[in-house]
Structure 1
Amino acid sequence: MTGTAPRIAIDAMGGDAGPSVMIAGAAHAFERRSDLSFLLFGDEAAIRAEVARHPALAGHVEIVHTTDVIAGTDKPSQAIRRAKTSSMGRAIAAVKEGEAHAAVSGGNTGALMAMAKLALRTMPGIDRPALAALIPTLGDNDVVMLDLGANTECDTNNLVQFAVMGAAYARVVLELERPRVQLLNIGTEELKGTDELRDAAAILRASDHLHMHFDGFVEGDKLSRGDVDVIVTDGFSGNIALKSLEGTARFVTDLLRRAFTSSIRSKIGFLISRPATELLRHHLDPNNHNGAVFLGLNGLVVKSHGSANDKGVANAIRVAARMVREDLTRKITEDLANVSARNHAVAAK
């Protein structure tokens, strides 16, 4: 699929602002790569009004009217029953039916996960899909982290599979031949952590035939140092870690804003240090890292943050398009086959 011109299905009603931001994000992404085309699901009148604001999209979009919208308060079980009538469900179905290469939604995460898993099913060799995203670091690259909330409890096999999927994703989005992979743990010593963590580490250490370099455990205070490319954990710990990082980023930016407006001298200091503070603001802006991916499904689905602006939505679309062009699903399938073959060979000895 490498070189494919990506056709992206968009849940235009998803996200806090709905069609206005989702369509503006599509237009912003199209400005960067004109080989994109879009299948837009939602209220046709509202979508057409927004598309009219972006003439460059003319001839590159198809609108499919839907009558239902999945709300942020809807339970996954409720959302699944409306998969055939909702903009979110129809966008996922477009991937399943081959009408689009990937789907993007800024809507309810739990509903999106449930619908995607039911419609697309997991890949052979994958027990559970995982939610992966890019986290900013002090290093040259962001770090891929998974699972971020799809699975609250994980066994050894789940963690190994997450490592394989995360490494394949890092090879695509970070352009790394052998990503450095670590498991999130309460310490770096080999005896630390649960049985599942230690067993997963043992399997990954023996998997030197994979396109990754497993480097043991990492603690929570090292997540953003830039010393690792892929961090693997269960969804419970991963979601807490992610929210903690996001909260810390907001704390730092709000603290700086308060400090620089506390006095005339502080305001003068802000003007002098503005280039540095702008760099910090850009680095911590979640829109620059928007686009979490459900890995392990027979189809590509990207979750945009509900509060993302048009730049953030465009980034989520670019993530989806890049996975299409680089044929991420094939890479994961090949790596999983290598793990299975090696495990069978070891068991036969």
Structure 2
Amino acid sequence: MSASGIKTFARQAEQYYQRGVAAARGGQREMAERLLRQAVRLNPHHEQAWLWLSGVLDDPDDIAFCLRAVLDLDPDNERARQGLAWLEQRHGQRDTRRSTLAIGVATTPATDPWWATWRRTQRTWLWTLRTLLLIPIVLLGATLIARELILRQPLPTFVAARELIVAPPAPTAAPVPTSSTPARSDPAAVERYLAAVAVERQRLREATSAYRETTDRGRTTLQRATATQQLRDELAQRYAALAQLQPPPDAAATHRHYLDALRMEIEAFDLLLEYYRTYDTAHANAAALRLQEARAALAQAVSSLDALAAAVATHDAPAGGF
């Protein structure tokens, strides 16, 4: 047996001994006998427990067994010598082998008793069972906590939905054509081009409005990431549709600038989606900068488109694009 196990049994034996002495002093002999028996079983070297146990027993053989156990531990114990001498004088020489205490009790135990091994086995199985039950509970709790933290992740402040400007600013005055500008485009061709662009711009406004509504109501990262992905896909579709248009000569430069602005917006939303996947602030900062560049380019391109539309409406289409 390990030293820690021996100390544990010794502490328990001392507790039984103290309670047994208290019961004996209170006149509860049967209770005292049970407690002191347990004390000497746990610690056969407890001299005082043997001595007190001899005082609450009735059988002479049991009393003699206890007193001889005390003398085995301390040959100079005078109380045990006197008690054994009195017992032999009154009842004659006693055969301690007939004592019921001899069963399972030894004054010098060489190995662990069966109950000590059983107790250790029970404790081992109990701790093993508790560990096996605790592992899935801990894993489930950790998973739920991580999921809740991810779902409650706030939307970065630099990409607030209301800052996504799709509607253009007030149109500026159309550039004044110079003598070096090329020939004007066919007004009918310009009108068809502007009408096609207007359809794509309207779809972009509707997609942006839906994005704003979702992100304003959505309180989880998952909802905002889904809305961001949907708007990014809509931007890509509108970019592909506009790239297939054939702008008139005086709208070619504006058309290229408008496509460049949409491409920058798509790149910004790609960076934002990467942030939602990794929570790396470097992607968030890059998305904010790219979005700012896209907004500036988009405002310039939209201003030129509106100026072109105003000129066509007055049958004075400008030549030379931007």
Answer yes or no: same fold by TM over 0.5: no
If asked which structure has higher relative contact order (CA below 8 Å, sep 6+), I would say 1
Normalising by structure 2, what TM-score? 0.23
Larger Rg: 2
